[in-house]
Chains A and B, each alone.
Chain A
Amino acid sequence: MALFALRRFLLAIPLLIGITFVSFLVIHLAPGEPVEVQTGDLSVQSTAQARQALRELYGLDKPFHVQYWKWLTRVVQLDFGRSFQPDGRPVLTKIGERLPITLLLNAVEMLLIMAVAVPIGVLSATRQYSLFDKVTTIFVFVGFATPDFWLALLLMILFGVQLGWLPISGLRSLNSEYLAFWPQQWDFISHLILPVVVATFGGLAGFSRYMRQSMLEVVRQDYIQTARAKGLPEQIVIGKHALRNALLPVVTILGLSLPGLIGGSVIVESIFAIPGMGQLMVQAVFSRDYPLIMGNLVIVAGLTLVANLCADLAYGIVDPRIRMAARRRRR
């Protein structure tokens, strides 16, 4: 296991370097002199001052490899420079303020998706072609096709505007400070309900589909026949023998779908005005806050890499075949 973990870890290092390289390459993607392009319509402060700052920050007058190396040595120390905003605070501080809420949202979404998608997948696999299976299949297709921002707007119209049940923006009400402890907690949670529902909805469709597929493959296996043949009750055959094995590939898919979930927070946070990484990124793009954009990109990709690594390791722990295969390949 230690060898397997080490191997995974070593494989992640080139990817990490690659992340910094691609992020750095992004500024050079712009046609011509990148600093000149920022006089776009969207630009809030495309002043000569900002250009000069950018030129100094990335050493854009030097050869490419020198620029990259200089930038890399600073990024390794997690120094992404200062924001171009008037407050001029360090990029890392800004990101640090925004990260917890995005992580919280994504963790809650992940748990919810698992909690709902696994039962749906198992039920529709064990009752393949039943009414339930057909209904969930329709749900999956509609779920795939529903734009999350549209769903968010519809839910805002319904629950926020028409019914007035839930708040539709921000994390806390204005009077939140004056509330007692429990009402204050509820105030916070009620602000998160719509965003979490929207973010979960899209992932749900895919996951219940994977779960169903994985379950369908497992129940065809011989050991399931054996379990049935020795007279075990169906609940145990499905709930224990089949489910455990069907969950294995889902662990990997969970890790692989993380970039999608995190990327989805761009839209959800923007719509519901949640001060997280996604909203920060959109604001940074609108104000052409280049250091913040680059810092955001590197941190988000780095976090995804770490999460993928964790998913890989988790897979290795739950499925001995994986780490055995890794050992065999090494010899």
Chain B
Amino acid sequence: MPALRGRSEFRVFWRTFKRNRLAVCAGIVVGILVALAVLAPVLAPWDPNKPDTRRILAGPSASHWLGTDQLGRDVLARVLYGARISLAVGFISVGIAAVIGIILGSAAGYHGGLADAVIMRLVDLMLVFPRFFLLLAVLAFLQPSIWTIMAVIGVTGWMGVARLVRAEFLTLKEREFVIWSESVGASASRVIFRHILPNAMAPVLVAMTLGIPAAILTESGLSFLGLGVQPPYATWGNILNDGKDSIEIAWWMTVYPGLAILVTVLSYNLLGEGIRDALDPRLRQAVSRFARPQR
């Protein structure tokens, strides 16, 4: 089974994963990114929100490595602080999506029948909405804040996980160990939480790893439009939004935050694919079909 039960199975996973050098490198980059985000207050050379009227739109220099923005704020410090927001939004919104997806997917897969039909039609329904239109419509009614953004991205992004979990339940339900535990009178919740879910988690973990970069892209897109995380918080998206107005003179405000997004998303994707291949090559198709970044 592709579950991470017991040490030996983890060792098998690790041995396979280790061989994929690209994924290992991506994992290291992800680690560095997380460290940079956590240590931003220590590492940032300047206060990210402190304007400096003497250095408005100054190009990269020894004191400001990535230049300054239209208020004279240090772009490097803002990019570092932006990493905190982007990663937090990525993790938390994917967490929300996973919880919703696991609950609905398990209910549909375990109970079948009417519950399954209703939940799966709900999935179809959510997938008919172009995600950005739905996000914008919801955000128009809410006060923009980091928490709203996380919640909204999570609530509109659980469908892939629900489908995966349901599919796993449908196969696992027929397995001997599940039928056996049901026949000796285990309660539904025990069967679900003790026997089926742990075995269904592998594809979910992979989908979550691949969901984080998708959420980061979505958040930065919203912030770029000015509808995501609001100033004074620096995020990669709203640095790009600031940079758009002075694009003809201050290329550094556009190039560096974008590179940060590119590197982050790329390394998460490579890491996610590496984990997937190491867990179970057969998952290759199923997960990538469900975990694509959706707009």
Contacts and interface: CB of A to CB of B under 8 A. Distances in A.
Contacts of A260: 130-131, 294-295
Interface string B25-47: 00000000000000000000000
A260 B295 CA distance: 5
B240 A30 contact: no
Nearest to B259: A150
B132 A304 contact: no
A146 interface: yes
Interface residues of A, number: 62
A23 B294 CA distance: 19
Nearest to B22: A141
A209 B263 CA distance: 20
B129 A259 contact: yes
A285 B137 contact: yes
B244 interface: yes
Interface stretch (A2-10, A177-185, A289-297): A289-297
B137 A213 contact: no
Interface in B239-284: 240, 243-244, 247-248, 251, 254-255, 257-258, 261-263, 265-266, 269-270
B254 A145 contact: no
Given A37-B143, A142-B266, A206-B292, A296 B247 contact: no
Interface centre among A30, A263, A301, A304 (most CB of B within 10 A): A263
A144 interface: yes
Nearest to A304: B128
Given A15-B125, A161-B248, A145 B132 contact: no
B143 to A, nearest CB: 6
Contacts of B257: 150
B171 interface: no
Contacts of A141: 266, 269-270
Interface in A57-79: none
B138 A266 contact: no
Contacts of B265: 144-145, 147
27 contacts: A15-B121, A18-B122, A19-B128, A22-B129, A29-B138, A29-B142, A30-B141, A142-B262, A149-B224, A153-B240, A153-B258, A154-B254, A259-B127, A259-B131, A259-B294, A260-B294, A263-B133, A266-B133, A266-B295, A284-B140, A285-B136, A285-B139, A285-B140, A290-B140, A293-B136, A297-B133, A308-B128
Which are the 3 A-B pairs with shortest beta-carbon distances? A263-B130, A150-B258, A263-B295
